């Protein structure tokens, strides 16, 4: 499989970028990895890169975006941070990826059994990690289905997964709300943003249609919802 070029990236739409990721994930869970010559890809991309998507995912060692979406060198920008949170540096990276480098899709990818989410649920405090986990607290407060205090901990898998999903949704909202550059690109329908969840048990990635922001109308719906 050859690398993406300036021409293939320019002809890419946000919807097609999403389809490529879905197709890649299906290959991953089916153990049908695309045939790639990585050394050749390294040579072909040494003078430039044309990634079609940008993935914000957790640092968890089991959630490598290149692997679970079966992508090669030069195909995607991969941004990784514990708990797939959004901060100013990450927004700047996304703005570079989309406005400057031409990426067509931004995916916020959470995953099951997230250690960062579990730590936030248990109010873990440890060095600089304390500040990072604090950014997950709004998602915990927003979770209202579990009301018993002793059930709102990492020991309750359902609670953890609910918080992880809410965190993905909040991250998508944060991207749209905090980046004027990305907001403009969405309004012009040049890029899309969507949230998703990677199931560590099956390897499957579920894309959340209710987080899909591919147009100005989608932005209005997200803000009203």
The pLDDT tens digits of the residues spanning 120-136 come to 999 999 999 999 999 99
What mean pLDDT, rounded, does the chain reach? Answer: 93
Structure-token pair, residue 33: 């990895």
d(CA 81, CA 97): 17
Rg (CA), the chain: 18
Q: What share of the chain is helix, strand, coil (3-state, %, to 5)?
A: 50, 15, 35
Domain encompassing residue 189? 6-112+174-211
In a domain, 223, yes or no: no
In a domain, 56, yes or no: yes
Tell me the mean pLDDT in the region 53-80. 95
What is the count of structural domains for the chain?
A: 1
Structure-token pair, residue 63: 């959630």
Q: Which strands sit side by side in the sheet containing 76-80, from one edge to the other?
A: 76-80, 53-57, 105-111, 192-198, 205-213
CB neighbour class for 157 (10 Å; exposed up to 12, middle 13-18, buried from 19): exposed
CATH (domain of 197)? 3.40.1050.10
In a domain, 21, yes or no: yes
Interior/surface letters 20-43, b for 16+ CB within 10 angstroms, e for the rest: bbeebbeebeeeeeeebeeeebee
Flag whether pLDDT at 225 surpasses 70. Answer: no
Asked whether the beta carbons of 69 and 19 are under 8 A apart, the reply is no
- Return the residue matching tokens 């909040």: 170
Asked whether the beta carbons of 80 and 34 are under 8 A apart, the reply is no
Interior/surface letters 116-142, b for 16+ CB within 10 angstroms, e for the rest: bbbbbbeeeeeeeeeebbebbeebbee
Tell me the mean pLDDT in the region 2-10. 79
Nearest to 207 by CA among 58, 85, 123, 106: 106
d(CA 114, CA 58): 8
Query: What is the model's pLDDT at position 41?
Result: 66
Tell me the mean pLDDT in the region 89-107. 97
The pLDDT tens digits of the residues spanning 147-165 come to 999 999 999 999 999 999 9
Query: What is the model's pLDDT at position 37?
Result: 65
In a domain, 61, yes or no: yes
């Amino acid at each position: 499989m050859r690398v993406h070029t300036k021409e293939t990236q320019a002809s890419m739409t946000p919807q097609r970028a999403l389809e490529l990721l879905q197709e890649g994930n299906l290959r991953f869970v089916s153990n049908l990895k695309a045939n790639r010559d990585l050394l050749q890809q390294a040579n072909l991309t040494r003078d430039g890169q044309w990634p079609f998507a940008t993935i914000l995912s957790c640092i968890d060692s089991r959630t490598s975006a290149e692997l679970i979406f079966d992508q090669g060198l030069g195909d995607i920008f991969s941004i990784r941070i514990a708990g797939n949170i959004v901060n100013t540096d990450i927004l700047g990276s996304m703005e570079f990826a989309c406005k400057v480098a031409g990426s067509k899709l931004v995916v916020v990818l959470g995953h099951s059994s997230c250690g960062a989410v579990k730590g936030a649920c248990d109010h873990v405090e440890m060095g600089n990690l304390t500040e990072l986990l604090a950014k997950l607290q709004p998602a915990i407060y927003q979770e209202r289905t579990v009301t018993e205090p002793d059930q709102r901990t990492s020991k309750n898998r359902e609670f953890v997964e609910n918080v992880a999903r809410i965190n993905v949704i909040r991250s998508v909202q944060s991207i749209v709300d905090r980046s004027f550059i990305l907001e403009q690109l969405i309004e012009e329908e040049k890029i899309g943003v969507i949230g998703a969840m990677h199931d560590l048990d099956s390897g499957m990635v579920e894309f959340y249609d209710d987080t899909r922001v591919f147009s100005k109308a989608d932005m209005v719906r997200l803000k009203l919802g």
